[in-house]
Amino acid sequence: EAGVAQSPRYKIIEKRQSVAFWCNPISGHATLYWYQQILGQGPKLLIQFQNNGVVDDSQLPKDRFSAERLKGVDSTLKIQPAKLEDSAVYLCASSLEGAQFFGPGTRLTVL
């Protein structure tokens, strides 16, 4: 069974630029999550989808971050414009029931 796929693996941008991350969850997993992991900390939830609907986006900085899962499968997370403090690893996870399975993450560096 293929795992959660993410791309790109690494991205370096300058502040005020835009960036987008892509996630393809495990086939059949209805729930998809985006987490932000800042160096030295545990991951923190940004947004959770159930199929193509948003379940929880209370911690998403909506002035600059957006995410969508239009067809209930793939998802994209966008940052526009990026700030220095957005430097982190962005993790996508999916679940069917119970445990979440994580992708390899995208490491974002904002200069």
Partner 1 sequence: GNSVTQMEGPVTLSEEAFLTINCTYTATGYPSLFWYVQYPGEGLQLLLKATKADDKGSNKGFEATYRKETTSFHLEKGSVQVSDSAVYFCARSLGANSKLTFGKGITLSVRP
Token pair of 72 as six digits: 């209930």
Output 91 or 110, the one with its CB closest to partner 1.
Answer: 91
Beta-strand runs (E) in 1-111: 5-7, 10-13, 19-24, 31-37, 44-50, 53-56, 65-68, 75-79, 88-95, 101-102, 106-110
CB of 41 to partner 1, least distance (A): 6
Binding site for partner 1 (CB under 8 A): 30-31, 33, 35, 40-45, 48, 50, 55-56, 91, 93, 95, 97-105
Return d(Cα 100, Cα 71) in angstroms, integer. 20
Q: Contact 14/81 with Cβ under 8 angstroms? A: no
Output 22 or 101, the one with its CB closest to partner 1.
Answer: 101
Output 13 or 30, the one with its CB closest to partner 1.
Answer: 30
CB of 86 to partner 1, least distance (A): 19
CB of 43 to partner 1, least distance (A): 5
